[in-house]
Structures are given as structure tokens and as C-alpha cells.
Amino acid sequence: MKREIRVLLICNTGEENRNSKFITQLEEFVPLPPSCGLNTVTICSTELNANVLATVLQPRPDLIIYYGLGQGLFWSEHTSVIEHPEGKIPLLYDNHDVQNLFYGEKYMYSTFFDVIKAKILELDAIKSRPSKLYIARTMDDLKYIEHKCHTEAFGLDTETNFLNPFIKDPEPKLLCYSVAWLSDEEEGWVVPTSQHLLDSGNCLFTVEQAKQNVIKALLESPQASFIHNAAYDLLVFFELFKGQMPKNFTACTMLLLNLFHYASKSAALKENTNLIGLPSYKEPVKEWIEAQPKTKGQSKKNLGFEDVPLDIIGPYAAMDAIAVARLVNYLKKNMPKSLWQFYFKIPHKVLLTSIELACEGYTLSRDRFNFTKFALEKYIRDVYSDALDTVKDHVDPEFNIGSNKQLGELLFDEKKLNLPVFNKTKKGANSTGAKALDDLILFHPFIFQLFKLRKLQKLYSTYSYKGYAGVLNEGSRMYKKTGNWTMNAQYKQTNRTARLASSNFNQHDGIKKKGGNILTLPAQGSMVKHYFEPGVVAEAENVLYQHIFEALPEADKKKLLEAEKYNIDIEIKPAKPESKKTKKDKAVDDDNSDSTSDESSE
């Protein structure tokens, strides 16, 4: 049942004004809480006394807003709470008359509404907070969690020190996990698994005992388990628990929410608390770090999740698991059956496949990589030639298509293409940037070819020219297997470039930028082959690559080896045949080939 905030609105005016437009306007200035419901009761009375209050304060309201309306206040201006047998009631009051409240000074708009809104949000966070948020501190707590996970379906969440479990520096750690059960949307537990959190929470078990609890309660449970952003948490379990994952992982609530919203709204937990009656998410880690005194020689930037005391982060971590459990129950009731069927038919299978690939690694075929590189080079030369053919009467042999100055002269000079100018640079020159070219694309075929050329050059310089170093960046586990390249990466999305990325590289010294691709595959339709192939096919292709390599002259072999070592661009000439065979020689070869085939068939 959704909780509600009960607001008592008292107006110092006669009862005859109860249904006036002005009173309705005052009621509208009580904002709707983000998580709870709102129940507003309005009283109009010029004789507010103890007897009247005894009647109107039953049942107990959560907030009283009192408008004196210029007639004076029943309570002292220093009164901020009203005593009540069931607990103190916060009081907000204002004595502006109607004219200055809404028109002259516009006090309601400039000041008082913000005061009301802040108090409503504060009450919403208190009222919607789950009533049973617990921190595991004893072995009995761990046994209780293990027993309940083996008897009921649950939602879970993990907290780690780093957002990419494949990074080895800093060493990835599971700091704590949280769990909640679908049968009780109020109960959530957090289990610390790092020494710092165990110490700060005075827990009576060890890190090793906490990790054993993870295995027994979460990974070995036969009950249905639900995870938000499972693509990450499953990799955490795989990486930190020697390849183990939850035995009965059922669904990812992030993917389910994405379907439920038809990809038109964020699927993050903090953006969907209104669906499940939870308070708006705070940032206890950030708040705690900001509150710490600055010490000499130590920056607050060096403080992170693993430095925050367990009692600060524990309740909010437990709420994450409750949010997952509530989301599952909510979606079971409100998401169409057809979307559930679609989820298990496609997104869930894609998720499991991507997790498997991320764990087992992707094999990169060197043969396909080089094929792509050489084919792309030829494509660029052809497009460059086509582009110059469209303007051959306006350029000389020394024309540099990469020079913005020369390109500007070609496009806008009256004696050349004489195209209209739609955009200028900051210095006032005619722009030849992407926006300017886009506006000119229908004016001359050269513009289309130029667009195409620039796109191909970007593709080549980013992914092909740099060789393997251009696609295998930090953030993935990369190792050699029999001459092949295999790397691990987090799967993030499917598109024409088959993007494999880590969403956040924060706190990793080896990577300066916050986010970035681990690997991106260029897409050029049927011309460019995929780099990735199953292991058997990749091995066969690399055998073929080795045969090609052996057939090259010694000089070209050295070039190729240097190119692979330093990722430089080279041109390889095909090996010359030793001699031309006569028709008679070919016939002998054919006979030998037939006899060999007969022997193998026998």
C-alpha cells in the first residue's frame, strides 16, 4: 500500500470562503511528493482555539501550513512544531495578505513555495523509507540471509571499488552486497565484504566468512535472482569468485525497465523511484566525503566508497536491493505479457551471450584485420579519385584536399565552384567544416564525395592504420593464444560498429579520460569482414595467414614483421612465381591431384 503525506491547511478566513478560487489556489501550492501520495485537508476558521485544534488534529497530520492572511497568527512566530500525543507536527506559517502573497510582493512564488517544497521532500524521504533496513554484523545474520535466499526469490546488488572488474590496478574488490526478497518489500540487508567496512561496522565475522556467504547465499541458491545492470554484476562475480555466477539468474531489471519505458526514459534506479514508492536517491558517499576535514597532504579526491563507514552507506546499499525487488513485483503487475515474452526471447539471450563472450574472451583474426586494412586503403584511393574527377577543371595537380584554405578557395571562389556561403568560422573565414558541407551537399557532387572521403579517412586513421594498438586499448584483459589475439571487454550496446566498451575508467591511473571504447569494429557493409570469429575459424584463418606470410619474399617478411611490431603502414608486394608452367606440366599436376584425391577417398 502506498504511503501518503497528510497536510493540514489552515486559513484564517470565514467558512463562507471555503470554496473560493483563492483557497483552491493555496491548495495547489502544496506540491505532490515524488514517492508518497498526498492528502490535503483544508480548514477555514477565524476562531482557531484549542477545542477546534483537538478536532482537526485527528488523525495526526504530517504537516500543518497556517495562513494568517494578514489577520495575525494563532501561534507564536517562533513556533516550528506543534505538540501531539503521537509525535511532534512540523508547522509552516505565513501572515501575508492575499495581495502580497500572489501579486504585489509575490511572496508565495519567490520564497514560501520553496519552503513548502523542501519540507514535503523531507517528509517524503522519511515516510517512504523502508522500515526494515539491516546491516549484517554477526554469523547468525549471515545464516539468516543464506537460509532466506535458499527459500525465496530475491533481488541483489553489489558495490565495488572500481567500475571495470577487468582492471587489475587498482585491484578490483567487492566491498559489500545487498539483498532483498520479493515477498517482503520492506526488508533489505547489506553484507560488508571488505576489511574496512567490517572494522567500521564492528562486525563479528571475517572477510573470508563474508565471501563464503556470497557463494552460499547468492551463487549457489536455487531460487530466482534478479539484478539491476546484470551485465556488470555478473562480471564482478565471475572475476572475483573464480568463474562462479548465480545459479538461477532470472532477469535484469535494467533491461526490463528499458522495455517498459520503450527506451524513452532512463532505466537507472534513481530515475524510477516514483514507480516503487522509494525516496529520491541521495549521495551519502559524496556527502560524507564533502563533510570530511581537509588534511595536509591529502586530497578529498583520494577518498572513495571503500573509505566511507558502514553505518553511512549500509542503509542506502540495502535500499538498492529493495528497489530491485520492488521493481520486479511492479513490472509483473504492470508490464504487458508480450514484453515479458520479448525480453526472454531476445534481450535476455543477448545479455547471456555477451556475458559469456566477455568472460571467455573475443578472438581477433589477424587475416581479417589485414584484409580490412588493405581493402579500406583501396576504397579510400577510389573515392579520392572520384572526388577529384568531379572538380578536375578547377584544380591543379598540387591541390591538397586536406587543406582548409585550398578547399575553401575551390568551393567559394567565383572562378571555381562558386558555392553559396552559409557558415563562417570564428575568425570570419568561409567554413569548410561538417556543418557547412552538410548545408552544401545538394549543390555539387564533389561535396558528397568529400563527405565520404572524410568518413573513410577517420575510420582508417582510428581503427586500421594504428594496427592492433588502434583497437586493443587499456581496460581489457589481452593475451596471446597461439598467435591469435584474445581480449575481454564489457558488452554495452549493439549497433553497426558492434561497440564493446567499459562505461567508466574513473580512478584508473593508466587512463586519463573518464569513459571510452575498449574496441570498436568498423562497418563498411559487405566489403569489410567482421574481425571476430569462433575459435576454430580464427585458427584456420591464421594458418592461411601463415601460408601467405611464408610465400612472401624475405624482404617483405621483414617489412611485415616490423609493421606488426610498430604498427606502421607498409605496402606488401605479392611474391613472384618461380616459373611459368607449360600445358604439359599443368596436365601432370592435374593427374597427381586426381590420384591424391582417389587415395584419400579410399
Q: Say which CATH number the domain at 267 has.
A: 3.30.420.10
Distance in angstroms (rounded) separating the CA atoms of residues 373 and 390:
26
Of the given ranges (27-31, 224-228, 395-399, 538-542), which has the lowest mean pLDDT?
A: 538-542
Amino acid of residue 459: L
Same domain, 475 and 554: yes
In a 13 Å sphere around the CA of 164, the CA atoms on its Cβ side amount to 30
How large is the average pLDDT for residues 238-246? 87
The residues, ordered by sequence, that sit 6+ positions from 24 with a Cβ below 8 Å of its Cβ are none
By the 10 Å C-beta count (0-12 exposed, 13-18 middle, 19+ buried), 301 is classed as exposed
Is 297 contained in some domain? no
Residues 89 and 86: their CA atoms lie apart, in Å, by 9
Cell representation of residue 529: 569482414
The winner for highest mean pLDDT among 99-113, 308-322, 427-441 is: 308-322
Last residue of a domain, one of 463, 497, 522: 463
Task: Judge whether residue 187 has pLDDT over 90.
Answer: yes
CB-based contacts of 53, cutoff 8 Å, min separation 6: none
Taking the C-alpha atoms of residue 366 and residue 377, their distance in angstroms, rounded to an integer, is 17
Look at strands 477-481 and 89-94 and give their pairing: unpaired
Domain match, 355 and 378 both? no
Among the ranges given (162-166, 188-192, 195-199, 320-324), the one the predictor scored with the smallest mean pLDDT? 162-166
Residue 296 within any structural domain of the chain: no
The answer to whether residues 205 and 281 belong to one domain is yes
- For residue 138, tell me if it sits in a domain: yes
Whole-number Cα distances in Å, 246 to 143, 233, 234, 601: 18, 10, 8, 50
- For 9, the 3-state DSSP assignment is strand
- Note whether 169 and 315 are same-domain residues: yes
pLDDT, tens only, 273-322: 888 888 876 677 778 888 888 766 555 556 777 788 999 889 889 999 99
What's the mean pLDDT in 68-72? 83
Q: Name the band, by pLDDT with cuts 50, 70 and 90, for residue 586.
A: very low
Interval 555-564 mean pLDDT: 57
Per-residue confidence (pLDDT) for residue 256, from 0 to 100:
93
In a domain, 295, yes or no: no
pLDDT of residue 316: 87
Q: 102-106, 199-203, 214-218, 222-226 — which is least confidently predicted?
A: 102-106
Helices 253-260, 310-334: crossing angle, 10 deg rounding = 50
For residue 581, give its domain range: 464-602
- Whether the full predicted model's pTM is greater than 0.75, yes or no, is no
**476 and 458 belong to one structural domain:** no
If asked whether residues 552 and 573 sit together in one domain, one would say: yes
Quick check: 545 pLDDT over 60? Answer: no
Q: Is 447 in the same domain as 496? A: no
Q: How is residue 125 annotated by DSSP?
A: H
Q: Return d(Cα 219, Cα 237) in angstroms, integer.
A: 8
Of the candidates 444, 463, 482, which is a domain's last residue? 463
Do residues 87 and 42 share a domain?
yes
Residue 478 belongs to a domain: yes
Higher pLDDT, 378 or 487: 378
Q: Is the pLDDT of residue 601 over 80?
A: no
Exposed, middle or buried, 480 (CB in 10 Å: 0-12/13-18/19+)? Answer: exposed
294 within a domain of the structure (yes/no): no
Q: Is residue 90 scored above 50 in pLDDT? A: yes
Q: Can you tell me whether residue 178 is helix, strand or coil? A: strand
Strand partners, 11: 44, 67
Largest CA-CA distance found in the chain, in angstroms, rounded: 124
| 81 and 206 together in one domain | no
pLDDT score of 334 more than 80: yes
CA distance 281 to 317: 11
Which CATH number does the domain housing residue 395 bear? 1.20.1060.10
Residues 11 and 87 in one domain: yes
Who wins on pLDDT, 528 or 216?
216
Question: Does residue 561 sit in the same domain as residue 602?
Answer: yes
Q: What is the CATH number of the domain that holds 64?
A: 3.40.50
Query: What pLDDT, in 10s, does the model give residues 3-37?
Result: 889 999 988 888 888 888 888 888 889 988 877 88
* C-alpha distance from residue 434 to each of 19, 83, 395, 431, 441 (Å): 61, 68, 22, 9, 10
**Where does a domain end: 314, 344, 360?**
360
What is the per-residue pLDDT across 480-522, written as a single tens digit (0 to 9) for each? 444 445 554 544 443 333 444 443 333 334 433 333 333 333 3
Q: Annotate 341-357 with three-state secondary structure.
A: HHHHHCHHHHHHHHHHH
Residue 149 lies in a domain: yes
Percent residues over pLDDT 90 in the chain: 23
Q: Does 391 share its domain with 242?
A: no
Range of weakest confidence among 63-67, 366-370, 448-452: 366-370
Higher pLDDT, 189 or 574: 189
Is residue 490 assigned to a domain?
Answer: yes
Q: Which three cell numbers stand for residue 560?
A: 611485415
Q: Is 487 helix (H, G, I), strand (E, B) or coil?
A: strand
Q: How many domains does the chain have?
A: 4
- What's the chain's average pLDDT? 75
pLDDT of the residue at 557: 60
Nearest-angstrom CA–CA distance, 467 and 413: 40
